Amino acid sequence: MYIYADIFMIFNIVLNGIILLFTALLAGVNYKLWRILFAAALGSIYALGSLLNDYSVLYTPWAKLLASLIIVLSAFPIRSVRSLAVIVSGFYIVSFLLGGAVFGWLFFFQPAIFGHAGGITWLSLSWKQVAAGVTIAGLLILISFRRFTASMTKRRMLFPLIISYDNRRARLTALLDTGNHLFTVTGHKPVILVEELALAPILSDLAITYLQENNPAAWFANLDSCQDQTWLSRIEIIPYRSVGISHMLLGFRPDGLKILANSGEIDSPAVVIAIYSGRLTADDNYQALLHPAVMQCVNEGGTGRCA
């Protein structure tokens, strides 16, 4: 069986380039195409050497790890040992996923990929099938990466939240809603949308009974039937528009609001809690939508009050 060095090199450059591009996506690092191509070419030269018996010492596990480090250092800007470890880990994850997906494709469409004769076993591959396998595997990995990164981005926008009212506290998870531009008419206070069920620990029995016995559309019309006068003194009516239709939300002023962020705790008492009768998400990952104005203090990295 003959192996053509030029075809072998081109194939490995393409495959290495794909692996490095997916590694950049997985690790979330910036890259330059010329560095990716240069590193892919280095990897291709290293792979070509594996066909020569005289250089077997360069293909031990430790030598392969060193080669991986050289390829990664050639492809990406490394700012710390931690970032290097993350990128190298991503490089191996992508390599194993892509390799497994390609071989799975080949076994599915070309089951007889191994040949045997005269006590010798060789790999018999169709270049078209290999190219198709790499393409399909790459698409599957790309789709998986997008879902993974979308999930991670969403998780980074989730914050533990503590709402205080009437000497009670409700702890819940809130999603930063960058599309939330709701402010109260009086005082121009940011509005945080919270599920009705999540507010049960801090509302009185009278307020809960009122909300449950009245249809959300009738909350405003039947306010006089609520027996909790203290809570009624905190009520705010919040108008908003969606798709050209005017709506109103029922809200109240809490005693305090605390956001638990990585940078510390942020107190933001100058907010209004709008009550949402339904569920904000089917998987119950969060029970509130945070206003961007409230999160400005968190993004600035301070700890204290955000009025």
Bigger pLDDT: 6 vs 182: 182
Tokens 């997008």 belong to: 146
Bridge partners (DSSP) of residue 252 are 235, 273
φ, ψ for residue 83, nearest 5 deg: -65, -35
Bridge partners (DSSP) of residue 176 are 290
CA distance 92 to 293: 41
Of the ranges 20-29, 63-72, 226-235, which one carries the lowest mean pLDDT score?
20-29
- Inform me whether the pLDDT recorded for 277 exceeds 70: yes
Query: pLDDT value at position 38?
Result: 92
The per-residue pLDDT for range 214-227, each reduced to its tens digit, is 888 888 888 888 99
CB 204 within 8 A of CB 256: no
Give the global pTM.
Answer: 0.52
- Inform me whether the pLDDT recorded for 111 exceeds 80: no
CA proximity to 249, closest of 204, 185, 201: 185
* Domain map (residue ranges) of the chain: 5-155, 158-305
CA distance 306 to 91: 42
